[in-house]
Amino acid sequence: MENNQDIAFNIFLKNFKKQVSKIGLKNSIQKDYILKVLYFSKKHLTAEEISNEIKSIYNVSIGIATVYRAMKFFHDMKLVNQLDIGDGILRYELNLTEHHDHLICTNCGKIIEFNDDLIELNQIKIATKNNFILKEHVMTIYGLCEDCQ
């Protein structure tokens, strides 16, 4: 029997497939597995971690190049966010929640998500003051987490 999270994922996947077919592209089973891993993950995963999780959880081999191509596709569709924590390796998360920013520990790599209405408002004010149309932004704050201080 499916739980609520499985039902929610199936609805999400069905909507994604509709959107992909509307724009004349095709979906693949590999993309389904990648989305499933990202959907249920509590972490920001690298392409290698995604590939490894698919293999360990679903016993399906997926090449790293396939994961990278899929992540580019998902990013172009604004379905995933990319995050570089400063080590040159991109990490990914589904773009399902309200906008948030990140605090990244430069010692242990811990990622803390946050959102702040004042920061969001100030970015809009700055853009407006400079006659700039703000389309999106990424805020990443680097420092030391409580455990590493």
Binding-site residue ranges for Zn(2+): 105, 108, 145, 148
Report yes or no: 26 and 93 within 8 Å, Cβ to Cβ: no
Torsion on CA atoms 56, 57, 59, 62, rounded to nearest 10 = -70
Residue ranges at the known binding site = 99, 101, 105, 108, 120, 137, 145, 148
Question: Which residues carry a binding-site annotation for Fe cation?
Answer: 99, 101, 120, 137
Long-range residue pairs from 70-73, CB within 8 A, at least 24 positions apart, any chain: 70/28, 70/30, 70/31, 70/34, 71/34, 71/47, 73/31
Q: Could you give the 3-state DSSP secondary structure of residue 99?
A: coil
Kindly report the CA angle at 95 between 93 and 96, in degrees rounded to 5? 115
